[in-house]
Copies of this chain bind each other. A is one copy, B any other.
Amino acid sequence: MSMKIGIIGSGNVGGTLGARWAQLGHEVTFGSRNPGSDAMKQLAARAGGKARAALPADAARDNEVLLLSTPWPAAQEVLRNLGDLNGKTLIDATNPLLPTLQGLELGNTTSAGEQVAAWATGAKVVKAFNTVGFNIMENPAFGSDKAVMFYCGDDAGAKQTVKQLTVELGFDAVDAGPLRQARVLEPFALLWISLAYGCGYGREIAFKLLRR
């Protein structure tokens, strides 16, 4: 089932996910303040010609599935300028990282995911694609093992959409419950970041969910 996907924040995460989804046959619009820039042209080419660039508000208006992949400090202002988000599926891939990358600006009793839901009135927010680096989103395979990708949210239909988009990328997609679970998925992102950088394990790491 092909979807129309708008990427709000076409950096490393948004660029990687959008390009892969376009390659998989989805209709992708990369939102950018400079849709005519060389970077956006390169991204459209990387996406295999099945993508276009547009202003963020246009990307939001014309698509029912949106990926929020801006830096956290930009998220509120960007959302405010997107127009009516009522009924749209909004995948929140942000993490409320401190500039040092060594902590979260908020957490434990709230989360970026819940904050985004408060800002994006009427949108069906699903937290996903926040727990590993873009290199893992490019390729979630570790030999025969699949990296896990958790998602959480309060709307069953929106979660089903996100599950499909996650499985298509090659992840083991695991439903982690309601949106408030962003309170654990955002620190989980910080675990990945700290292992990759602070602890010296590098970016080519991920988690597998073992079951028996």
Q: Interface on A for B, CB 8 Å cutoff? A: 103-104, 106-109, 142-143, 145, 147-148, 150, 174-177, 181, 183-185, 187-188, 190-191, 194-195, 198-199, 201, 204-212
User: Measured between C-beta atoms, what is the minimum distance from A114 to chain B in Å?
Assistant: 13
User: Measured between C-beta atoms, what is the minimum distance from A33 to chain B in Å?
Assistant: 32
Which chain B residue has the least Cβ–Cβ distance from A195? B176
CA A184 – CA B204 in complex, angstroms? 20
Which residues does chain B contribute within 8 Å of A207, judged by CB atoms?
A: 148, 207-210
Which residues does chain B contribute within 8 Å of A143, judged by CB atoms?
A: 212
Q: A106-B108, A108-B108 are in contact. Are A201 and B194 (CB under 8 A)?
A: no
Q: A205-B211, A210-B147, A210-B208 are in contact. Are A183 and B176 (CB under 8 A)?
A: no
Which chain B residue has the least Cβ–Cβ distance from A145? B210
> A199, B183: Cβ atoms under 8 Å?
no
* 11 A-B pairs in the complex with CB atoms less than 8 angstroms apart: A103-B183, A108-B108, A148-B207, A176-B194, A176-B195, A176-B199, A177-B194, A184-B191, A201-B211, A206-B209, A208-B210
Copies of this chain per assembly:
2
Residue of A108, A175, A177, A198 with highest tally of chain B CB at under 10 A: A108
Majority-rule SS of A interface residues = mixed
Which chain B residue has the least Cβ–Cβ distance from A102? B180
CA A79 – CA B23 in complex, angstroms? 58
CA A20 – CA B102 in complex, angstroms? 35
> A184, B177: Cβ atoms under 8 Å?
no
Which chain B residue has the least Cβ–Cβ distance from A198? B177
Residue of A175, A187, A204, A208 with highest tally of chain B CB at under 10 A: A187
Which residues does chain B contribute within 8 Å of A148, judged by CB atoms?
A: 207
CA A181 – CA B150 in complex, angstroms? 21
> A142, B195: Cβ atoms under 8 Å?
no
Besides the contacts A104-B108, A150-B191, what 13 more A-B pairs have beta carbons closer than 8 Å? A103-B108, A103-B109, A107-B108, A108-B108, A108-B187, A145-B208, A176-B195, A188-B188, A188-B191, A204-B212, A205-B210, A205-B212, A208-B208
